Amino acid sequence: MKLLIVNADDFGWTEGVNRGIVDAHRDGIVTSTSLLANGAAFANAVQLARENPALGVGVHLNLSDGPPILRRWEVSSFADKRGQFWARPGNLFMRRWAGKLRLGEVEREWAAQIERVRNAGIAITHLDGHKHVHMIPGLFSIALRLAQRYSIPAVRISVERGVPRDALASDGAGTSPKRWLQYVLAGGLALLTMDAPELARRAGIAFPDYFCGLTPTGFLTRDAVESLLRNLPEGSTELMCHPGYTDAALAQSATRLQSERATELAALTAPEHAKLVAALHIRLINYAGLALKP
């Protein structure tokens, strides 16, 4: 059995991103999304989630962009005096390595993010991390512990390997310097998190057999999606994506993915892909459907 989760990150970032994700769900192959509890368009995202109950919604655990849910003095090891997250994942990793990132603060902030989403009436399908911050050693264990505490059944393990990774790389865009940098970062992340699958199994938290979409972030084309569908392995796979519309709020926000979101939206809503999914007997699921794994 071939199961595919197509998860759109950054739900709640802006209303244009939200609309793009919902359109990619209604008119394309997106089945799942990850909600930023502190996103500027959080309320709009919650309303759209209620209107689209088949769209699985996870929590996009965040330490890098926007304001914390808790007060700034409660999370002073990663929020500044203006009440904003200031550290990118690389900074967070170095602070963790140096013992300056207080893990208790991380756990309390992430618990507050989960509770905000849950209190909005969202049935949370999984946890993942904004910019994969949940994969930093020590923080992945926190994510698993919170999944257990809040009865969240699944987690993303952001490690690309095997057939899905290679299929997405076959679109001819692999020579871009940015793409090569993403390959390097993906490789480093895989080395740092070799124990993640075993930790998740011990915690009783589900995860897909395969994950892909990290290295082609910003480069996800129609050809890449078609290649993935044609080469999808048996078992469960997550394709991470970032569809959206470029609105004024997005243009003014701190994200490098601008026009790229519209490109991904077009790739994910291409009519031929829905036909290919049916022809290849691929079952589109969200994270709640991992119970269907063979």
Q: What is the DSSP string of 60-128?
A: EE-SSSS--SS-GGGSTTTB-TTS-B---HHHHHHHHHHT-S-HHHHHHHHHHHHHHHHHTT--EEEEE
Strand partners, 5: 238, 285
Structure token pair of residue 231: 């080469």
Please state at what angle helix 103-119 crosses helix 139-149, rounded to 10 degrees.
40
171 secondary structure, DSSP code: G
In the chain, where the domains are located: 2-292
In this prediction, residue 153 carries a pLDDT of: 97
In this prediction, residue 160 carries a pLDDT of: 86
Residue 212, φ and ψ in degrees, nearest 5: -150, 160
- CATH (residue range 2-292): 3.20.20.370
pLDDT per residue rounded down to tens, the chain (294 residues): 999 999 999 999 999 999 999 999 999 999 999 999 999 999 999 999 999 999 999 999 999 999 999 999 999 999 999 999 987 877 888 888 888 899 999 999 999 999 999 999 999 999 999 999 999 989 999 999 999 999 999 999 998 887 777 777 765 545 566 665 665 676 666 667 779 999 999 999 999 999 998 887 777 889 999 999 999 999 999 999 999 998 887 777 777 676 788 999 999 999 999 999 999 999 999 999 997 665
In this prediction, residue 182 carries a pLDDT of: 64
Cβ atoms of residues 262 and 20 within 8 Å: yes
Cβ atoms of residues 289 and 44 within 8 Å: no
Cβ atoms of residues 10 and 36 within 8 Å: yes
Query: Which of 148, 292, 133 minimizes the C-alpha distance to 208?
Result: 292
